[in-house]
Amino acid sequence: MQLNIDVTKIFISSSSQQTLQPLRDRIKAALENAGHETVMYEYGDMGLYTDDPNQDCLTKVKDADVLVLFISNKAGSLSRSNPNITITYAEFMTALKNDKIVIPIVETQIFNFYKEHIKDELDRAINKYEEEHDREPRFTFPIVKDLLEEHKEKDTVLHKRITEMDVDEFIWAFIHDCFKMTRWTYDYHIADTPDLCTFLLQVLSQVLRKSTKFYLHEKEITQNLLLYDELTVYQDSVTNFMKCIKNAQLNLPLYFKTLSEYLPGQSIYDPYSDYAEHPVPVVNISECKAITLYKKNGDILSLVDSYGSKTPTQLFNITDDDSFVAQTYNKDMEHQEHIFYSEEKQMIYMTKKVGELVLSCHFQLSQVWSSRRVNSYESEIVSAIMDKRQPFDFAIDLLGGMLNE
Count of structural domains, the chain? 2
**Does 121 share its domain with 232?**
no
Span 196-220, mean pLDDT?
69
**Does 160 share its domain with 226?**
no
Instruction: Find the range with the poorest average confidence among 156-160, 192-196, 353-357.
Output: 192-196
> What is residue 379's predicted lDDT score, i.e. its pLDDT?
83
Span 82-93, mean pLDDT?
90
Separation CA 306–CA 294 (nearest Å): 9
36 within domain boundaries: yes
Q: Is 31 left (phi over 0), alpha (psi -120 to 50) or beta?
A: alpha
Span 289-297, mean pLDDT?
94
Separation CA 349–CA 308 (nearest Å): 14
**Does 234 share its domain with 200?**
no
126 within domain boundaries: yes
Separation CA 93–CA 339 (nearest Å): 29
DSSP 158-209: HHHHHHHTT--HHHHHHHHHHHHHSS--EEE-TT-HHHHHHHHHHHHHHHHH
Separation CA 387–CA 232 (nearest Å): 15
Separation CA 26–CA 201 (nearest Å): 12
Residue ranges of alpha helices (H) inside 184-323 are: 193-209, 213-216, 218-242, 252-261
Cβ atoms within 10 A of the Cβ of 327, count? 16
Span 274-278, mean pLDDT?
46
Cβ atoms within 10 A of the Cβ of 384, count? 20
Helix, strand, coil percentages (3-state) for the chain, rounded to 5, are: 50, 20, 30
Name every residue whose Cβ is closer than 8 Å to that of residue 287 and which is 6 or more positions away in sequence: 260, 263, 264, 265, 363
**Does 163 share its domain with 273?**
no
Which of 216, 234, 256 corresponds to the end of one domain?
A: 216
CATH number where 394 lies: 3.30.450.40
**Does 243 share its domain with 207?**
no
**Does 391 share its domain with 337?**
yes
Instruction: Find the range with the poorest average confidence among 159-163, 191-195, 300-304, 315-319.
Output: 191-195
Length of the chain: 405
**Does 244 share its domain with 302?**
yes
152 within domain boundaries: yes
The upper half-sphere exposure of residue 249, i.e. CA atoms within 13 Å in the direction of its Cβ, equals 4
Instruction: Find the range with the poorest average confidence among 49-63, 66-80, 365-379, 380-394.
Output: 49-63
CATH number where 144 lies: 3.40.50
**Does 280 share its domain with 316?**
yes
1 within domain boundaries: no
Range of the domain at 95: 9-216
Span 149-155, mean pLDDT?
87
pLDDT score of 80 more than 60: yes
> What is residue 221's predicted lDDT score, i.e. its pLDDT?
52
Q: Is the CA virtual torsion 271, 274, 279, 284 positive or negative?
A: positive
> What is residue 182's predicted lDDT score, i.e. its pLDDT?
85
